[in-house]
Amino acid sequence: MLSSNDSAPTPKLLITGASGFLGWYLCQVAQSSWQVFGTAYSHAVEIPGCSVVTVDLRDFASLKQVLQTVQPDAVIHAAAQARPHVCQAEPQSTHAINVEASWTLADLCGESQIPLLFVSTDLVFDGQDPPYQESDLVSPINTYGEQKVKAEQGMVERYPSTVIARMPLMFGVTPHAASFIQPMIQNLEAGIALQLFEDEFRTPVSGLDAARGILLALAKGEGYIHLGGKERLSRFEMGQQLVDCLGYPPTLLTGCSQTDVSLSTPRPADVSLDSSLAYSLGYAPNLFGQALRQMLGQS
């Protein structure tokens, strides 16, 4: 368990993937308790209150140098190629960042006993037997999910104290990276109807709530922890709430089935997470509609 007292120096937190969607939220939330350092590579960014270091996480020597220079009191590994269709099309290049870099970080943190949390995904499951608890067997059906499983298992083998936080579908607005919500809003603004799956279910959370949950898991968690939202919603149901929040007519939304669409990447039908463990530790994500209204500045 991580803690600090008033007389001690502010602890240092290193967040990989600070230029990404989740990384940005982590940098914002962590600043109240940590001196925050972030890594970026392909997208150089400036984040107020955060010292951003440009580093290729696939380069062992460079990554080791960053850890030696920063000397973090904890590390959150959020960097990844998180687009499933890219992983499906480019399995070798994405394996290097999603798996090999994760293993290397576990080795380095293990050597110095630096608390480490790895950001994983609900897509480690096949969607056939939800809701999924931490103890359920993994069974990914696409390359991204397979890579995350390999990363999870390899990191725990190398550094058993690693916390594995499995994240659900996340949404929000950041200066540098978009979530699945932004293209939907753009289509609605252009008068283009949304066609969304009625048979694909997730337990979504906002990026803000996800970051709060991860920091809680870093402080209190051990082993595997699920940080899903409190509602099981289909893509179509999420769209309904978005249309309602924005005041667009329901006619701009139609439902469909996964079988109606030719998909380049296999998608599980229902990877809803059972996050009872996280809730017992104090994780309290907002309901989807409430978080959506906050994101849109309506509450």
What does the pLDDT read at residue 236? 97
pTM for this structure?
A: 0.95
What does the pLDDT read at residue 177? 83
Q: Of 198, 296, 191, 293, whose CA–CA distance to 252 is shortest?
A: 191
3-state secondary structure 114-176: CCEEEEEEHHHCCCCCCCECCCCCCCCCCHHHHHHHHHHHHHHHHCCCCEEEEECCEECECCC
Sequence-distant (6+) residues with CB within 8 A of 9 are none
CB-neighbour burial class of residue 64 (10 A; exposed 0-12, middle 13-18, buried 19+): middle
The amino acid present at 121, given as its one-letter code, is T
* Residues lower than pLDDT 70 in the chain: 1-7, 299
Neighbours of 272 (CB within 10 A): 22
Element (DSSP H or E) covering residue 51: strand 50-54
The CA distance from 260 to 37, in Å, is 45
Q: Of 74, 27, 30, whose CA–CA distance to 52 is shortest?
A: 27
What does the pLDDT read at residue 152? 98
Element (DSSP H or E) covering residue 206: strand 205-206
The CA distance from 254 to 187, in Å, is 13
The CA distance from 141 to 125, in Å, is 7
What does the pLDDT read at residue 5? 54
The CA distance from 271 to 203, in Å, is 8
**Which residue segments constitute the domains of the chain, with CATH numbers given?**
12-172+205-230+272-286 (3.40.50.720)
Token pair recorded at residue 83: 């687009």
Check: CB of residue 158 under 8 Å from CB of residue 107. yes
What does the pLDDT read at residue 263? 87
What does the pLDDT read at residue 3? 52
